[in-house]
């Protein structure tokens, strides 16, 4: 079937841009991040559980009737939480469900919006009082009108906070403990602005120490855990500075969703597997940190867990020694692990692994 927007050049550009973002692990990871295009009364937005990296391979965009959805948001209609009832189903042949961040994209007045979990942004956004340093780095970017939005639960609460802290001219949002939003009149404009913003936020990072993979393989043999796909992620356990930064609580939402709340450190895999944090969902911890050795992932985890383990290293290794860290609270972790929209995204991830 021909996609209803297949001939639209801006839609084609959005898909190409989305794929580029999704294929860069420094910009976004797994099913994280989302892009959108407002056109002719509809907002085409990445579907929940899909990967930006696949934008050129498959249909990942779903149309939302913008005026109806914005009216629902203004009326505090609970249906706005999932946005499902506002999808133009006549143009949604795959029965896709809109992103959990549909409300965030909708309240931003610009035609094109990109929301990513850029590791450079996250390394700033988990540090309390980061606004002054970010403003300093943006000072030479004349076309950037930015605002900082403290952490709140993604979805409708976040969109309400964005409305309260931005103006119609705002085109860059730094989301505390969450990520980056860049918007503009066209895909080309947003892509250019996003690249320059990420470059301005770039931070040096510590190199990863080499793990003893043979020893780790012997440790996981016969257990329900496996080694991660990329050995660089063992730096989380091997680098004392990074280990200190990730200890004590979650840094951002997708970590909670795909790796569980915070980190669990253990010298014994069986003991670690039995740990159940009150704010976590049912089941064993997706990730365990073995101090001084490396990290292991539960065998039920998918490639999304590998992507988020890499993200954790990429963020932690950019945080300087002695940096103050703002972490999510157990209550905020619980909001994410027991949120229906995130359970849906996790179910899609598990289904993809089984297929």
Is 50 found in the same domain as 188? yes
Is 188 found in the same domain as 222? no
What residue ranges in 93-156 does DSSP mark as E strands? 112-116, 146-149
The CATH number that applies at residue 187 is 3.40.225.10
- Between the CA of residue 70 and those of 44, 76, 145, 189, 222, what are the distances in Å? 14, 10, 23, 25, 53
In a domain, 123, yes or no: yes
Is 340 found in the same domain as 224? yes
Report pTM: 0.95
In a domain, 119, yes or no: yes
Q: Which two tokens stand for residue 59?
A: 């249909």
Is 132 found in the same domain as 233? no
pLDDT tens digit sequence for 61-74 = 999 999 999 999 99
How sure is the predictor about 340, in pLDDT bands with cuts at 50, 70 and 90?
A: confident
Is 318 found in the same domain as 220? yes
Query: What percentage of residues in the chain have a pLDDT greater than 90?
Result: 93
Phi-psi region of 230 (alpha: psi -120 to 50; beta: other; left: phi over 0): beta
In a domain, 2, yes or no: no
Is 194 found in the same domain as 107? yes
In a domain, 111, yes or no: yes
Last residue of a domain, one of 200, 233, 253: 200
In a domain, 220, yes or no: yes
Is 252 found in the same domain as 144? no
Is 58 found in the same domain as 187? yes
Query: What percentage of residues in the chain have a pLDDT greater than 70?
Result: 95
Last residue of a domain, one of 175, 200, 225: 200
Mean pLDDT calculated for residue range 106-116: 98
Between CA 63 and CA 346 the distance in angstroms is 22
CB atoms within 10 A of CB 124: 22
Is 281 found in the same domain as 184? no
SS3 47: strand
In a domain, 1, yes or no: no
Give the domain extent around 86: 9-200
Last residue of a domain, one of 200, 230, 251: 200
**Whether 195 contacts 129, CB under 8 Å:** no
* Between 347 and 19, residue with greater pLDDT: 19
CB atoms within 10 A of CB 132: 9
In a domain, 206, yes or no: no
pLDDT tens digit sequence for 137-182 = 999 999 999 999 999 999 999 999 999 999 999 999 999 999 999 9
Looking at the predicted structure, is the pLDDT value of residue 355 above 80?
Answer: no
How sure is the predictor about 345, in pLDDT bands with cuts at 50, 70 and 90?
A: low
Is 264 found in the same domain as 314? yes
Mean pLDDT calculated for residue range 178-193: 98
Q: Write out the DSSP string of 261-317.
A: SS--B-S-HHHHHT---TTSPSSS-SEEEETTTEEEEETT--HHHHHHHHHHHHHHT
pLDDT tens digit sequence for 251-310 = 999 999 999 999 999 999 999 999 999 999 889 999 999 999 999 999 999 999 999 999
Backbone angles phi, psi at 212, to 5 degrees: -85, 90
pLDDT of residue 4: 85
Total structural domains within the chain:
2
Residue the block writes with tokens 């890499």: 310
């Amino acid at each position: 079937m021909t996609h209803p927007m297949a001939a639209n050049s801006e839609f084609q550009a959005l898909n190409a841009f989305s794929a580029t973002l999704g294929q860069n692990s420094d910009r976004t990871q797994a099913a994280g991040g989302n892009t959108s295009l407002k056109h002719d009364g509809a907002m085409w937005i990445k579907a929940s559980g899909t990967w930006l990296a696949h934008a050129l391979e498959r249909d990942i965009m779903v149309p939302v009737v913008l005026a109806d959805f914005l009216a629902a948001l203004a009326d505090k209609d609970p249906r706005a939480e999932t946005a499902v009832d506002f999808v133009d189903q006549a143009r949604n042949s795959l029965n896709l469900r809109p992103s959990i961040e549909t409300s965030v994209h909708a309240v931003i007045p610009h035609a094109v919006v990109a929301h990513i979990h850029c590791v450079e942004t996250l390394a700033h956004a988990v540090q309390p009082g980061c606004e002054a340093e970010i403003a300093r780095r943006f000072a030479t970017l004349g076309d950037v009108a930015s605002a900082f939005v403290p952490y709140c639960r993604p979805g409708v609460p976040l969109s309400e906070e964005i409305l309260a802290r931005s103006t119609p001219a705002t085109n860059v949002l730094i989301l505390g403990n969450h990520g980056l939003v860049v918007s503009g009149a066209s895909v080309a404009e947003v892509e250019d602005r996003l690249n320059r913003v990420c470059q301005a936020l770039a931070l040096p990072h510590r190199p990863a120490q080499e793990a003893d993979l043979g020893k780790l393989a012997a440790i996981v043999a016969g257990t329900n855990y496996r080694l991660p796909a990329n050995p660089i992620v063992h730096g989380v356990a091997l680098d004392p500075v990074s280990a200190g930064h990730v200890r004590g609580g979650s840094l951002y939402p997708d970590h909670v969703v795909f790796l569980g709340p915070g980190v669990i450190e253990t010298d014994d895999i069986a003991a670690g597997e039995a740990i159940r944090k009150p704010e976590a969902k049912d089941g064993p911890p997706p990730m365990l940190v073995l101090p001084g050795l490396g990290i292991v992932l539960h065998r039920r985890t998918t490639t999304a867990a590998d992507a988020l383990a890499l993200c954790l290293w990429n963020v932690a290794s950019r945080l300087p020694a002695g940096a103050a860290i703002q972490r999510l609270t157990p209550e905020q972790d619980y909001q994410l692990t027991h949120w229906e929209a995130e359970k849906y995204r996790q179910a899609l991830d598990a289904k993809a692994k089984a297929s």
